[in-house]
C-alpha cells in the first residue's frame, strides 16, 4: 500500500492548503474523462483516496498514528477510546455486519401551500398546483450512469462499502470497520456519471398536480398525497407530498365548527312589523322570514346551509344574529310620529335585566374584530 503522502507528493508536515493544491493538480492530470486508460484510472483512485484521508484532520491524525485505513494489518497504533468503544459496543460492528449501503434512497416529502376562501370550504375545491420537486432522470432512468456504462466495484473496499483497520490498544489488537471514503460506503463507484443529472439519478422539475380539496378543511390542515413528493436518489421510492391549506377570513361570514355565522342588520320598522328578505349566502341566495317583534340578539338558523364536514355529508347550519338598527336621523314629522307612538304604546321605562353572554354578543365581538 502506497503511502498517502507519497501518492500526493507532499511532505508529512504539509498544510491542508498544500494537500488540496497537490490533489487538484493530480486530479486534473489523471481524471478518467481526460485520461482514459487503466493505469491513470488506478492512480486517480489512489490519489482521491489519499486526499480523502489527509484532507480530514481527524482521519489524517489517525493515519499519522499508524492506523491504516485500508485493512493493512501490519501497521499498529493506538486508536483512542472512541475506536475501542465502537468495536465493543457496536457502532461500526467490528466488520461483522459491514454491508454496502444502497444508493437508492427514499425521496423527501414535499410541502406546498394552497390558499382558499371560505366559499371553497363549503363544498370543497379543485386546484391545479405547481410543485417543484426532484423527478426521475429520464436520461439514465435513475441508474446514475452514462448510457452503456454501469457502476464498478470499488477497488478500495472490494465492494463491501467498509474498510477495516487494526488498532493495537490496551485491550489487545482490535479491528474496526468504517465506511469506505472512496465509494462513500456504496461498495461501487460510478466511473461515467450521467451528464443530465450529474450522477444523482434525478433532476428538479416543475409540474402541475391536480388536486381535489375536500369540503370542511381549515387553516393548517395538511392533505397527504402518498408518493407525490420527491423521487429518491438513484431512482429510490418517492416521498409524499403534503398540501397545507390556508383559508382566508371572509368579510361577512365566519366559521364555528360546520356552521357559518353572520350578522343581519334589520331596520327598526322591519323588526317591529316583520318582513321577508333574501340574503346572499356563500352558496347562493337564502330566503329569510323576519318575524314581527324580532329582537337584537335573536338568531335565525337556516338548516343545512353551512359547511360540509371533512368527514360526513350532513352540512352545518347558517346562523344569523339579528341586530336591530335604531334610526338616528329623524326629521320633525318622523319625530312627531314616534312621539305619538310612544304615548300610545305606554312603553316601559328602561330597566335592568340579567347580562346576556349569548351567541349574538360573540358574533358582534367577532364582527368588530375583538
Ligand atoms: Zn441521469
Q: Which domains does the chain have, with CATH numbers?
A: 4-99 (1.10.287.110), 110-151+190-247 (2.60.260.20), 254-367 (2.60.260.20)
Over 70: is that where the pLDDT of 33 sits? no
Mean pLDDT of 21-36: 78
Q: In terms of C-beta density within 10 A (0-12 exposed, 13-18 middle, 19 or more buried), how is residue 370 classed?
A: exposed
Ligand 1 mean position, distance from CA 163 (Å): 29
Partners of 113 in the beta sheet? 244
Mean pLDDT in residue range 95-124: 86
Q: What is the whole-number distance in angstroms between the Cα of residue 44 and the centre of ligand 1?
A: 23
Ligand 1 center–CA 4 separation, angstroms: 33
pLDDT of residue 272: 94
CA of 188 to the centre of ligand 1 (A): 17
Judge whether 322 and 296 are in contact, CB under 8 Å: yes
**Strand ranges (E), the chain:** 110-116, 125-136, 152-153, 162-169, 172-179, 188-189, 202-213, 222-225, 241-247, 254-256, 259-267, 275-281, 284-290, 299-302, 318-325
Gap from CA of 134 to ligand 1 centroid (Å): 12
Kindly give the distance from the C-alpha atom of residue 194 to the centroid of ligand 1, in angstroms, as a whole number: 5
Q: What is the pLDDT of residues 201-218, one digit of tens each?
A: 999 999 899 999 999 999
Q: CA-to-CA distance for 351 and 358, rounded, in angstroms?
A: 19
In the 8-state DSSP scheme, what is residue 214? P
Average pLDDT over residues 340-349: 88
For ligand 1, the distance from its centroid to the CA atom of residue 53, given in whole angstroms, is: 29
Strands 202-213 and 125-136: antiparallel
Burial of 103 (0-12, 13-18, 19+ CB in 10 A): buried
Can you tell me the mean pLDDT for 66-92?
A: 41
Q: Return the percentage of the chain with pLDDT > 90, whole number.
A: 54
Tell me how far the alpha carbon of residue 202 lies from the centroid of ligand 1, in angstroms. Answer: 6
Mean pLDDT for 59-65 is: 83
pLDDT, tens only, 234-249: 989 999 999 999 999 9
Distance from the CA of 235 to the center of ligand 1, in angstroms? Answer: 10
Q: What is the largest CA-CA distance in the chain?
A: 118
* 28 CB-near residues (< 8 Å, 6+ apart): 34
* 178 alpha carbon – ligand 1 mean position (Å): 29
Give the distance (Å) from ligand 1 centre to CA of residue 300: 64
Helix (H, G, I), strand (E, B) or coil at 38: helix
Distance 136 CA to ligand 1 centre (A): 8
- What is the model's pTM? 0.59
From ligand 1's centre to the CA of 135, what distance in Å? Answer: 10
- Average per-residue pLDDT in the chain? 84
Q: How far is the CA of 204 from the centre of ligand 1 (A)?
A: 11
Amino acid at each position: 500500500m502506497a503511502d498517502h503522502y507519497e501518492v500526493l507528493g507532499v511532505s508529512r508536515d504539509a498544510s491542508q492548503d498544500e494537500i488540496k493544491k497537490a490533489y487538484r493538480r493530480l486530479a486534473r492530470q489523471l481524471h478518467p474523462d481526460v485520461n482514459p486508460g487503466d493505469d491513470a484510472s488506478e492512480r486517480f483512485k489512489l490519489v482521491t483516496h489519499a486526499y480523502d484521508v489527509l484532507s480530514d484532520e481527524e482521519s489524517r491524525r489517525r493515519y499519522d498514528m499508524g492506523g491504516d485505513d485500508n485493512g493493512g494489518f501490519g501497521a499498529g497504533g493506538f486508536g483512542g477510546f472512541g475506536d475501542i468503544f465502537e468495536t465493543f459496543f457496536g457502532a461500526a460492528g467490528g466488520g461483522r455486519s459491514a454491508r454496502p449501503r444502497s444508493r437508492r434512497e427514499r425521496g423527501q416529502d414535499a410541502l406546498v401551500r394552497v390558499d382558499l376562501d371560505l366559499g371553497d370550504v363549503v363544498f370543497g375545491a379543485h386546484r391545479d398546483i405547481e410543485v417543484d420537486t426532484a423527478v426521475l432522470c429520464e436520461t439514465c432512468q435513475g441508474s446514475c450512469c452514462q448510457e452503456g456504462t454501469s457502476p464498478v466495484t470499488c477497488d478500495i473496499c472490494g465492494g463491501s462499502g467498509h474498510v477495516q483497520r487494526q488498532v493495537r490498544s490496551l485491550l489487545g489488537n482490535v479491528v474496526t470497520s468504517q465506511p469506505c471514503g472512496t465509494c462513500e460506503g456504496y461498495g461501487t463507484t460510478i466511473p461515467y456519471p450521467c451528464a443530465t443529472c450529474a450522477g444523482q439519478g434525478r433532476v428538479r422539475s416543475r409540474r402541475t398536480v391536480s388536486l381535489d380539496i375536500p369540503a370542511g378543511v381549515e387553516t393548517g390542515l395538511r392533505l397527504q398525497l402518498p408518493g407525490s413528493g420527491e423521487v429518491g436518489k438513484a431512482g429510490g421510492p418517492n416521498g409524499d407530498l403534503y398540501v397545507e391549506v390556508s383559508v382566508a377570513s371572509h368579510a361577512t361570514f365566519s366559521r364555528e365548527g360546520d356552521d357559518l355565522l353572520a350578522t343581519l342588520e334589520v331596520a327598526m320598522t322591519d323588526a317591529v312589523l316583520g318582513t321577508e328578505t333574501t340574503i346572499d349566502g356563500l352558496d347562493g341566495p337564502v330566503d329569510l322570514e323576519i318575524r314581527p317583534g324580532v329582537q337584537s340578539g335573536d338568531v335565525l338558523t337556516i338548516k343545512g346551509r353551512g359547511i360540509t364536514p371533512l368527514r360526513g355529508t350532513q352540512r352545518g347550519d347558517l346562523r344569523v344574529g339579528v341586530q336591530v338598527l335604531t334610526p338616528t336621523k329623524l326629521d320633525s314629522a318622523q319625530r312627531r310620529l314616534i312621539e305619538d307612538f310612544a304615548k300610545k304604546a305606554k312603553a316601559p321605562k328602561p330597566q335592568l335585566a340579567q347580562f346576556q353572554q349569548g351567541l349574538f354578543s360573540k358574533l358582534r365581538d367577532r364582527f368588530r374584530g375583538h
